[in-house]
Structure 1
Amino acid sequence: MSEDTPKHGMGDPDYENEDGEKKTLTTNSGEPVPDNQNSRSAGPEGPLLMEDYHYFEKMAQFNREEIPERIVHAKGGGAFGTFTVTNDEISDYTMADMFSEEGKETDLVVRFSTVAGSRGAPDTVRDPRGFAVKFYTEEGNWDMVGNNTPVFFIRDPSKFPDFIHTQKEVPGSGLNDPTPQWDFWSLSPESLHQITTLFSERGIPASWRHMNGYSSHTLSLYNDEGERYWVKFHFKTDQGIENLDPEKAKELAGENPHYHREDLWTAIEEGNYPTWTLKVQIMPEEEAEEYDINPFDLTRVWPHDDYPLIEVGTMELNENPDNFFQDVEESAFSPAHVVPGIAHSPDKMLQGRIPSYDDAHRYRLGANFEDIPVNQPKNAEKANYHQNGFMRSDGNNGAGPNYEPNSFGGPVEKPEVEQPPLNISGDADRYEMQERIDNYKQPGDMFRDVMSEEQRDHLMDNFADSMEPVDETIQRRQLAHFYKADPDWGRGVAERLDLDIEDAVDDELLEADDDEVAEAPVVAELLD
């Protein structure tokens, strides 16, 4: 494709001022935005600061873009079930009651979803899958809000609305166009690990029953001794990983857009209850600073050789919804919802999601969305001083006091469940991560060491098919990232696009031995 090939539906709005220069990006109140890519944090590895008004405004606007369906994860399905502890070793790391003893059972509800499509979109598209679990514990609800991939496209939440916009229809024509997504990915090299997973065979699961789920984020556990551990959660499907051939997926998209929803419903109705084994990776708190990668970087995984998987228990889905709307569409999951013994981490993406999810639920379902039965705690009593609001239906605390402290026996704090202090240092600023960052090694290792030759061929075919309609300038920019991860990868996709890899990579990088490429920088101008 030539460089002068026009984009489809991507207009040229008047974004220049009277002097012919680009207009300055501002907040809604006209304040110039100094950095639209990096949130303000305490030190380069976080956590985030509440003072970053631009981020909160950006997310508040994003959460309110569409009604009534979810902005992301609009299409999905779900079921109820139970979690059973099979190995109480985890109780050494956390005071969470649901993990307290072997055989302990906890009720739950799960919602699976695609990310980019609307509520009526087909299930069998190439897209990450949401994997959200609400555990109705005796200490309140814990929501494990993850995906079927262990990593994500970006590592800073300020980029999230922009990223999702690239996955939707373009504003001019209202049509799907791969140009925005490849433009964004080629300008955001941290996305390489996730798009490698997305365009692999796992990018189109055969069913929700045949895919894994991950917390993706690093969370934390703490025990009654005040010790903190960093943790990643892995839900391993006991049905085995199975994926769809892309052509079969397209066929099913036309024949039955609810294919995955129907598969789960039918399996449970027939008594074929799907199960997943929950495993965790545990990192002592003090090891995080010295580890050779940033353990809170959402674009990276922890190698299992360093932190082996520890089995915890089994999740079984054994009950279909009574009413799809009230049990699935009105379900609301949020990473803000944790229980004593489970807490968050300095992961910037996680920090950004904590206020954002509940904000989106309040907009979509109302201020009292947690009064909806599927969202209510089942085994713990809700007691607070919130009052009024649309659709308040739980008695509104009656005539009791609506403030605290009070002299009338209202609910009080429970200091003993407070998590241990988190050591934070660093100047308040916007940081583009530099230390412990390598966008290419783990995707390259996946390509070389994890995938078979056939899987590598399929991956490169899938990339080339998706990139073929895109402007050549963007194609070449992305090829440089593939080459940086593995030269054979870059050459393979270039050949499929009828491009010369020498046009995408500079001479110094081309002349390096293949095993030296991982240490060489991508040419700066390719990222401009």
Structure 2
Amino acid sequence: MSNERKNLTTSWGAPVGDNQNSITAGSRGPTLIQDVHLLEKLAHFNRERVPERVVHAKGAGAHGYFEVTNDVTKYTKANFLSDVGKRTPMFVRFSTVAGENGSADTVRDPRGFALKFYTEEGNYDLVGNNTPVFFIRDAIKFPDFIHTQKRHPQTHLKNPDAVWDFWSLSPESLHQVTILMSDRGIPATFRHMHGFGSHTFKWTNAEGDGVWIKYHFKTEQGIQNLAPELAAKIAGENPDYHTEDLFNAIEKGDFPAWKMYVQIMPLEDADTYRFDPFDVTKVWSQKDYPLIEVGRMVLNRNPENYFAEVEQATFSPGTLVPGVDVSPDKMLQGRLFAYHDAHRYRVGANHQALPINRPKNEVHTYQRDGQMRFDNNGGGSVYYEPNSYGGPSESAENKQAAFPVQGVADSVSYDHIDHYTQPGDLYRLQSEEERARLVQNYVEAMAPVTKDEIKLRQIAHLYKADPEFGQRVAQGLGLQVPQHV
């Protein structure tokens, strides 16, 4: 570091003469409003925290790269997947879901798995979790679901009644809740968990042919989880345990890595598959659609500044590149709006221009103005389209791929859908030791619920998934499986 003296300045670059004493009327005050340096310091300090994320508030991030290891160009024209060996820089943010910014890392909660690829055709965001499914399949239920994970408006305490009341009234949540209550509900570190795009997406190749796909990221460090007792102990002793682990691993050169795979479904199979392939509460059997290797993600550089890079990073499943399209997944469709809108509220209308979010290639838009516009705002160039002045124009070859839609416009219920087969399969796939821990985690999580009606409703769902599953949880709670199940 240079020993050359640097003058402290104001935010507008003027040198500061005294940073220890405010300007007052005499030695005892009062303070004068003319002390603009004092006013600027206080005003900026009051605004040093952008609003935290409503969900995924607590997180850690790192830089890295993605390297293609298998030729998938027959499925997608995405430029960053165009050549084996091609590397694309990335930024990744891991997070918990429900807690506030200061909450503990080792709670039982899904983990966010948000990836930003800085491709030559613009940024591509893949915003998933460490689970292949989610609690709900329709975005209209998302605000209510998240409310149940937050604090009671009167007591300001977490509310198990709300959590289990919602889940027991939303049987589509059973698959995700069962994963959450399993050993994988508390990963040992961010490095020791898989990641998933969760939703179904569409890949389109250069000829315009498409396939439905699901993303899987398999950790090369191996799956490791924490026992609840150890997780609780760590939460009290080091609530930033996962954040610290990720930083230290990268700092010492132990770079975490994941292999990316996709499942590929022909478009026509969507009409005949035994589960709705666009239902994010369901998985596709890997026996039906095996994993195909695509590439490898490596994280090899820590952020220089947490706020600038991790807190201000914005991700959206609507940040797409040519060759990657969306599907009719109802939860995904809602997220396409909600995530970008959250960033406009939290960080600002020009969040995409911040260094951590800015694409590596040049941006040509007709968007102008807005808070915190810190580039040249388009200068004097043409600011509308269509125009006769040679301004940027659309490229038809990069339109999203078309797909047919049909039916009556309606708010369609899905009460008739099978919510039980896959959670039951998940229970039966586990060893007896894993089942015992799963049942115990369910029992401990549901025990604080004050209404037996809520417990019995959830037990009925478990019984429908697997009778033994429901009976064991009922026994643990000192209840009987409802007779009408």
Equivalent pair of 2:50/2:347 in contact (CA under 8 Å): no
Identify the match of residue 411 of structure 2 among 392, 416, 430.
Answer: 430
**How many residues of Structure 1 are paired with residues of Structure 2 in the alignment?**
436
- Whether 2:398 is the aligned partner of 1:417: answer yes
Equivalent pair of 1:226/1:419 in contact (CA under 8 Å): no
Unaligned runs of 5+ in 2: 1-48
Partner amino acid, structure 2, of 1:446: L
Query: 2:160 corresponds to which residue?
Result: 178
- Whether 2:478 is the aligned partner of 1:495: answer no
Equivalent pair of 1:296/1:346 in contact (CA under 8 Å): yes
What's the CA shift for 1:505? 3.3
- Whether 2:115 is the aligned partner of 1:130: answer no
Query: 1:21 corresponds to which residue?
Result: none
- Whether 2:371 is the aligned partner of 1:383: answer no
- Whether 2:283 is the aligned partner of 1:305: answer no
Partner amino acid, structure 1, of 2:410: D
Cα deviation per residue 1:94-139 (whole Å; 9 max; x = unaligned)?
A: 0001111100100000000000000000000000000000000000
Compute the RMSD of aligned alpha carbons. 1.0
What's the CA shift for 1:274? 0.3
Equivalent pair of 2:440/2:476 in contact (CA under 8 Å): yes
Query: 2:54 corresponds to which residue?
Result: 71
Query: 1:82 corresponds to which residue?
Result: 65
Query: 1:463 corresponds to which residue?
Result: 442
Partner amino acid, structure 2, of 1:487: P
What's the CA shift for 1:177? 2.0
Q: How does 1:114-513 map to 2 (within 5 A)?
A: 114-378=96-360, 380-433=361-414, 437-448=417-428, 450-470=429-449, 471-501=451-481, 504-506=482-484, 509=485
What's the CA shift for 1:434? 5.2
Query: 1:521 corresponds to which residue?
Result: none
Cα deviation per residue 1:272-314 (whole Å; 9 max; x = unaligned)?
A: 0000000000011111111111000000000000000000010
Once residues 415 and 85 of structure 2 are traced to their aligned partners in structure 1, the CA distance between those partners, rounded to angstroms, is 45
Partner amino acid, structure 2, of 1:428: A
Flag the structure with larger Rg.
2
What's the CA shift for 1:67? 6.5
Equivalent pair of 1:366/1:390 in contact (CA under 8 Å): yes
Once residues 418 and 402 of structure 1 are traced to their aligned partners in structure 2, the CA distance between those partners, rounded to angstroms, is 22
Is 402-411 or 479-488 further displaced after alignment?
Answer: 402-411
Secondary structure in structure 2 of the residue aligned to 1:146: strand
Q: Normalising by the residue count of structure 1, what TM-score does the alignment of the two structures yield?
A: 0.82
Once residues 179 and 500 of structure 1 are traced to their aligned partners in structure 2, the CA distance between those partners, rounded to angstroms, is 19
Once residues 50 and 385 of structure 2 are traced to their aligned partners in structure 1, the CA distance between those partners, rounded to angstroms, is 36
Secondary structure in structure 2 of the residue aligned to 1:71: coil
Cα deviation per residue 1:160-210 (whole Å; 9 max; x = unaligned)?
A: 000000001111100112110000000000000000000000000000000
Equivalent pair of 2:325/2:401 in contact (CA under 8 Å): no
Once residues 104 and 242 of structure 1 are traced to their aligned partners in structure 2, the CA distance between those partners, rounded to angstroms, is 30
Once residues 361 and 402 of structure 1 are traced to their aligned partners in structure 2, the CA distance between those partners, rounded to angstroms, is 24
Taking structure 1 as reference, are residues 338 and 505 closer, same or farther at Cα in structure 2, changes over 3 Å only? farther
Identity %: 58
Equivalent pair of 2:64/2:301 in contact (CA under 8 Å): yes
Once residues 220 and 71 of structure 1 are traced to their aligned partners in structure 2, the CA distance between those partners, rounded to angstroms, is 28
Is 402-411 or 255-264 further displaced after alignment?
Answer: 402-411
Once residues 186 and 491 of structure 1 are traced to their aligned partners in structure 2, the CA distance between those partners, rounded to angstroms, is 16
Query: 1:36 corresponds to which residue?
Result: none
Equivalent pair of 1:480/1:505 in contact (CA under 8 Å): no
Query: 1:48 corresponds to which residue?
Result: none
Unaligned runs of 5+ in 1: 1-65, 510-528
Once residues 476 and 292 of structure 1 are traced to their aligned partners in structure 2, the CA distance between those partners, rounded to angstroms, is 29
Query: 1:56 corresponds to which residue?
Result: none
What's the CA shift for 1:433? 2.0
Once residues 298 and 172 of structure 1 are traced to their aligned partners in structure 2, the CA distance between those partners, rounded to angstroms, is 33
Partner amino acid, structure 2, of 1:95: K
What's the CA shift for 1:91? 1.1
Query: 2:25 corresponds to which residue?
Result: none
Secondary structure in structure 2 of the residue aligned to 1:196: helix
Secondary structure in structure 2 of the residue aligned to 1:232: strand
Once residues 177 and 467 of structure 2 are traced to their aligned partners in structure 1, the CA distance between those partners, rounded to angstroms, is 17
Partner amino acid, structure 2, of 1:393: F
What's the CA shift for 1:469? 1.4
